[in-house]
Amino acid sequence: MKPTTKALAAAAIAFVLVHVNAPESPNVPSVGPMRALILHDNTQDVQLPAEQQAVYHSQIIDQWLDEHTPKEADGEHSHRVWDVQTDVKNMPQVWQDWMRDTKAKATKLPWLRAEKGRKRYNGALPKDVPSTLEVLKKVGE
């Protein structure tokens, strides 16, 4: 990546982090530990660049999120990869709220929502694993 492109990407991420920091729902706490959701659509995934689709299950993303999100009552870390058709009625209320609010906010798919306290990213899933990790680090570190 050329320095100018890198600078532009950093500026774009900073813009989103600064400007998307208001809770979407009264049920979503304004402070708290890190939580992340990748929302995608299986009927559109085949059209995605392979580099972007590789983000969903990449080990480096999964392990980073395991290290930076708390375990919930069910024993799993608080990050998920869900299709838009996933039925979440059996999930805790906070996840149901997240799914509802993220679906309402996502103007395109795949989408990434990551929050830690007041640091937030709520935008299109970055184009590949390294840039997704960069966004997550800005939120979670």
Partner 1 sequence: MAKTILISDDDSSGDAVPDGGAKGLVQRDFRAHPLGSFEYAAELPDNLIIPRGEWSDRLNLQKKFQSRIIDVRNRGMDGKPIPSRDQNGRGYCWFHSGTTCMMLARAAQNEPYADLSAYAGACIIKNYRDEGGFGAQGLKFQAERGIPTSEFWPQQSTSKKNDNPKTWENAAKHKWSKWYDLEPRNIDHFVTACLMGWPIISDFNWWGHSVGTMCLEEVGNDWSKIVSWILNSWGDKWSQNGAGLLKGKKAAPDSMQCCVVTYASAA
Residues of this chain that bind partner 1 (CB under 8 A): 42-43, 45-46, 50-51, 53-54, 56-60, 62-63, 66, 73-77, 79-83, 85-92, 95, 129
Could you tell me the smallest distance in angstroms from the CB atom of residue 14 to partner 1? 26
25 vs 63, beta carbon nearer partner 1: 63
Minimum distance of partner 1 from residue 25's CB (angstroms):
18
Nearest to 49 by CA among 104, 125, 128, 105: 128
17 vs 36, which CB is nearer to partner 1?
Answer: 36
By CB atoms closer than 10 A (0-12, 13-18, 19+), residue 133 is middle
In the complex with partner 1, which residue's Cβ is closer, 4 or 59?
Answer: 59
CB of 97 to partner 1, least distance (A): 14
Judge contact between 38 and 125, C-beta under 8 A: yes
CB of 76 to partner 1, least distance (A): 4
Cα gap 89→85, rounded to integer Å? 12
Q: Which is nearer to partner 1, 56 or 121 (CB)?
A: 56
Residue 115 C-beta-side C-alpha neighbours within 13 Å:
19
Of the candidates 57, 39, 49, 44, which has an alpha carbon nearest to the alpha carbon of residue 112?
A: 39
> Could you tell me which residues come within 8 angstroms of residue 54 by beta carbon, excluding any fewer than 6 positions away?
128, 129
CB of 3 to partner 1, least distance (A): 25
Nearer to partner 1, 18 or 104 (CB): 104
